[in-house]
């Protein structure tokens, strides 16, 4: 991975809400109400992630917490929260959404196989007004980062893999549609069409990425976490712009260029149907 900018996290001045013309600073507190932005980590913790890979993920997430505190300090209307979901043969919320100012991260461990369907189903459940996304007025568009090193082991129903069925349901979720979604395939084993199909269909445009080396993985996680968070805190996202009725954001089809698209050497193509010879990373 090659970074070409000296400061890939620099997106100019943060968004500052203005006080209405009738507001009297002497009569009331005119400081802007802080809106939450949740960074969801969706982490493959199957057995193939053991050793250096899960260690690198744990280190990168822990480092991202520290960096996101700086993002929060620089974007006054935004209160950064983090949620960590792991998936293997099951899917579980390891860290429910919590402010980066108070969260104490517990390292992830590995077990089982790679059931993407359960991960997508749980994420869909969490991204609802009844769970983690209570209102449009109280939230910026979320950031979702999927990390995996292997192909799905989900069963199929009538020839359709269960992960595809659950992703189709997830794509009907308004918060998911407006989210900035990044997916990172990790290591040599992930260089296969089945894995690339999952991450390409999950991620926002130009946001399905590949990390060949452990050092690249740590850098990439921190880069996309912070840069995507700054982008969304500006009021935009790679999925669109929130602004629908209360409790449901509106997908306007907003097209925003990923801030890291020119900083990453390898970007996985955005494809629907893949074949073995479509990917050449030599």
Residue 136: what pLDDT? 67
**Residue 263: band (very low, low, confident or very high) from pLDDT cuts 50, 70, 90:** low
Q: Which residue has the tokens 């296969």?
A: 192
Chain centre to alpha carbon of residue 223: 12
Task: Give the torsion through C-alpha atoms of 6, 79, 211, 90, to 10 deg.
Answer: 180
For the chain, what percent of residues have pLDDT higher than 90? Answer: 33
Question: Does residue 150 have a pLDDT over 80?
Answer: yes
- 241 vs 254: CA distance, rounded Å: 6
DSSP string spanning the chain? Answer: ----SS-TT--SSPP-PPPPTT--TTTS--SPPPEEEEEEEEEE-SGGGTTHHHHHHHHHHHHHHHHHHHHHHHSTTEEEEEEEEEESSSEEEEEEEEETTT---------S---HHHHHHHHHHHSSTTTT---STTBPPPEEEEEESS-----EETTEEHHHHHHHHHTT-HHHHHSEEEEEEESGGG-SHHHHHHHHHHSPTT-EEEE-SHHHHHHHHHHHHHHHHHHHHTT--SS----SSTTS----------TTTTT-S-B----SS--GGG----
C-alpha distances in Å from residue 143, one per residue of 16, 112, 113, 156:
20, 26, 25, 29
**Residue 193: band (very low, low, confident or very high) from pLDDT cuts 50, 70, 90:** confident
Token pair recorded at residue 69 = 């505190």
Chain centre to alpha carbon of residue 97: 13
Q: Could you tell me the residue ranges of all domains in the chain?
A: 35-274
Chain centre to alpha carbon of residue 10: 19
Question: Does residue 272 have a pLDDT over 50?
Answer: no
Query: pLDDT averaged over the chain?
Result: 75
Q: Which range is least confidently modeled, 185-194, 201-210, 244-253?
A: 244-253
Residue 226: what pLDDT? 80
Instruction: Write down how long the chain is.
Output: 282
- Nearest one of 226, 224, 210, 133 to 175, comparing CA atoms: 133
Candidate CATH numbers 3.30.365.10, 3.40.50.720, 1.20.1250.20, 3.40.50.410; the one for domain 35-274:
3.40.50.410
- Nearest one of 48, 189, 46, 181 to 124, comparing CA atoms: 181
pTM of the predicted model, to two decimals? 0.77
């Amino acid at each position: 991975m090659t970074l070409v900018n000296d400061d890939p996290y620099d997106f100019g001045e943060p968004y500052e809400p203005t006080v209405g013309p009738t507001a009297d600073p002497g009569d009331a507190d005119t400081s802007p109400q802080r809106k939450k932005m949740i960074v969801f980590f969706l982490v493959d913790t199957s057995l193939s992630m053991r050793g250096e890979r899960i260690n690198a993920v744990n280190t990168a997430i822990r480092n991202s917490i520290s960096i996101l505190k700086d993002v929060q300090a620089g974007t006054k209307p935004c209160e950064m929260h983090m949620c960590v979901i792991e998936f293997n043969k099951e899917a579980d919320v390891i860290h429910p959404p919590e402010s980066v100012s108070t969260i104490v991260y517990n390292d992830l461990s590995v077990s089982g196989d790679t059931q993407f369907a359960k991960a997508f189903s749980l994420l869909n459940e969490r991204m609802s007004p009844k769970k983690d996304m209570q209102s449009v007025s109280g939230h910026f568009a979320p950031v979702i980062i999927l990390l995996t090193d292997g192909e799905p082991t989900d069963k199929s129903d009538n020839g359709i893999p269960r992960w595809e069925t659950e992703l189709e349901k997830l794509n009907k979720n308004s918060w998911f549609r407006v989210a900035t979604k990044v997916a990172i395939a990790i290591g040599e084993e992930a260089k296969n069409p089945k894995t690339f199909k999952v991450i390409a269909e999950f991620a926002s445009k130009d946001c399905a990425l590949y990390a060949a080396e452990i050092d690249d993985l740590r850098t990439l996680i921190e880069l996309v976490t912070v840069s995507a968070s700054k982008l969304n805190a500006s009021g935009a996202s790679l999925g669109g712009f929130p602004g629908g009725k209360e409790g449901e954001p509106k997908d306007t089809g907003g097209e925003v260029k990923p801030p890291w698209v020119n900083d990453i050497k390898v970007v996985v193509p955005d494809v629907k149907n893949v074949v073995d010879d479509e990917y050449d990373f030599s």
